[in-house]
Structure 1
Amino acid sequence: MNKSIVFQNLNKIGIALTALTAIGFATTNSASAASVTTLLQDSFDQENSTALNYDHFVNWNVINGSVDLIGSVGFYDFLPANGLYVDLDGSTGQAGTLQSKTIFNFQAGDTVNLSFQLAGNQRNNVTDSVTVSLGTLFNDTFLLPEFQGFTNFTRSFTVANATNATLDFKGIGADNVGLLLDNVTLTKSVPEPGSIMGLLAFGAFGATSLRKRKQQQSAINA
């Protein structure tokens, strides 16, 4: 077989292998090219004590009403084995808003993940509700019947414009009995510049290898 044809075939194989390798490299890095930061994680179990109209949370301020911190043995533990949790309609006749003490910063392109657990009031035959918001990024109202146990809720979205926001759980009601809240987690994911630079460097390496093969082929053909 002609040497020129052999080297042409080898060159085509090399190009294909380089392309496949680059695709695999990009695919692998797309799954790990984001840095995940936990902004808030709270099960309420670190609070010092349970109390009606509790307002000494580590991570939260209580505004526009009151909430109850319940769940310890013998103190309104309606759903045992869940540690401490919050009744969002406290004992003052006005449901409260649990607002994060931290004002979170988000940049365009950030992926935000929010998860939390809600349960029915476990006492009154009514459907209670709570409005959950993260500044202008997210706002939704959740309704649960009386005896629904703790249920996981998750929401994910991408930030369009840079903004600052607090995380708020606004109880709705005025009968001293509201939805129960537990296990709140807020994270954000941002692209890692190093992953992008690595991909560009690999592409440059591949281009250099192809150029060398072409130069070798030209020298042989000459």
Structure 2
Amino acid sequence: MPAGRVLSGKQEAVHQRPEGLKAELTRNSYTAQSVENLNPPCSMKLQSQQKLTPVLTSTSNGDDSYLEFNKASAALFWGDFMKIRIIVGLIAGLAFSSTASATQVFFQDFESLTPNALSVTTLPGFSVTGQVDVVGNPNTYNIAALSNIVDLDGSPGPGTITSSTSFAFNAGDRVTLSFLLGGAQRNSVSDNFTLGWLLSSAMTVTNIVGTGYFDYLNLASAFAPASGSQSINLAGDAGFLLSSVSFTATAAGSFGFSFGSTSADNVGPLIDNIGLDISPVPGPVMGAGLPGLVIALGALVALRRRRMFAA
């Protein structure tokens, strides 16, 4: 083959890598020239992006040819590579996505009530046994309340508040009861505080976790098959702390709850911002994970190979 000849299109040859050829692309045609001691052995300068055809070059002795791409071809390759990265990332994200989001099924902050009301026997969302007080801001009790809160030892007390409704959950759901809890804040005397719960039927619950004032308790021992309670002694000067109890259901059912005190000195534990969340446990999406990654990557590689060797 004459020195410097450029082969285009689909002409094929099986040779070794050229050692002394430099291909130069002009605006309208490809040309080649011999270069001595070129390092690296072969390179190409793009002066126009009008041609997207791969270039097949040969050395002067005709025993060597190879396939080389111009910058536009490299850009196409980079675009396919980025597509692969994006799709792989999306599939990996789906592998750990949840099939549903958390739902807050109950919340009560007592803001609809008249502040600084004593001997209260009705509360929104709760039935009241005994009496409780509603303390507002400002108040004459030196209680650092930012808004309405409930004193579980009314005037007189004590009292217990029980959710008026039981809330349904499914097998595998994560049930979380949260509340803002503080001491009486009128002396340093400790008061009893009791959290109670009632399940619709006897069942085993798992992954029982407490936070805040309940983070150190062995709550598993308090969960009976259908109901249970947990009591703590809360110092009168204990500050407000967001606390919670959560568990994973092993069967479908419903959940009710209560808060109370046995304190009988007209000053008791303070509670506010009571919420109940029911969250489906996150699970993988069908078809995601490693099998999905392998299939997607294989398809994209095959597409790229067809582009490279298409006519």
- What TM-score, normalized by structure 1, do the two folds share? 0.71
Instruction: Tell me which residue corresponds to 1:11.
Output: none
Q: Secondary structure at the match of 1:35?
A: coil
Distance across 2 between alignment mates of 1:67 and 1:29: 49
Distance (whole Å) between structure 2 residues aligned to residue 54 and residue 31 of structure 1 = 46
Confirm whether residue 156 of structure 1 aligns to residue 222 of structure 2: no
Structure 1 Cα separation of the partners of residues 178 and 153 of structure 2: 21
Deviation at residue 47 of structure 1 after TM alignment: 1.7
Structure 1: segments with no counterpart, 5+ residues: 3-13, 218-222
Distance 1:142 1:27 in 2: 42
2:103 pairs with 1:44: no
Counterpart secondary structure, 2:261: strand
Question: How big is the alpha-carbon RMSD for the aligned residues of Structure 1 and Structure 2?
Answer: 3.7
| Cα offset, 1:206, TM superposition | 3.0
1:92 aligned onto 2:156? yes
- Describe the shift of the 1:71–1:128 C-alpha distance in structure 2 as closer, same or farther (beyond 3 A): same
Contact 2:88 2:297 in 1 (8 A): no
Name the structure 2 match of 1:168. Answer: 258
- Could you tell me whether the CA contact under 8 Å between 1:130 and 1:143 is conserved in 2? yes
* Alignment partner, residue 39 of structure 2: none
Structure 2 residue 196 is matched with structure 1 residue 196: no
1:3-14 alignment runs, 5 A limit: none
Task: Describe how 1:170-185 pairs up with structure 2 within 5 A.
Answer: 170-185=260-275
Paired position in structure 2 for 1:109: 172
SS at match of 1:122: coil
Give the AA of the match of 1:196: V
CA deviation profile, 1:14-62 (whole Å, cap 9, x unmatched): 9xx79x938x635455354431111111221122443112123222110
Residue deviations 1:154-192 (CA, integer Å, cap 9, x gap): 333211222222121122222222101011121111258
Aligned with 2:295 (options 203, 206, 222): 206
**How big is the shift at 1:86?**
0.5
The alignment of Structure 1 onto Structure 2 pairs a total of residues equal to 197
Task: Return the alpha-carbon distance in structure 2 between the equivalents of residues 69 and 170 of structure 1.
Answer: 14
Which amino acid in structure 1 is aligned with residue 153 of structure 2?
A: D
**2:91 pairs with one of 8, 15, 25:** 25
Supply the distance in 2 between the matched residues of 1:129 and 1:26 (Cα, whole angstroms). 49
Structure 2 gap segments, 5+ residues each = 1-13, 15-80, 200-204, 206-222, 224-228, 307-311
**Rg comparison, structure with higher value:** 2
Could you report, residue by residue, the CA deviation over 1:111-166 in whole angstroms, capped at 9, with x for unpaired residues? 12222111111224321121112324664323321111211113332112222221
1:125 aligns with 2:195: no
Q: Which amino acid aligns with 1:104?
A: F
> Counterpart of 1:183 in 2: which secondary structure?
strand
Pick the structure with more helix per residue. Answer: 1
- Residue by residue, what CA displacement relative to the aligned partner does 1:85-105 show, whole Å, maximum 9, x if unpaired? 011111234x21111122111
Match of 1:83 in 2: 147
Tell me, in whole angstroms, the C-alpha distance in 1 between the residues paired with 2:160 and 2:254: 18
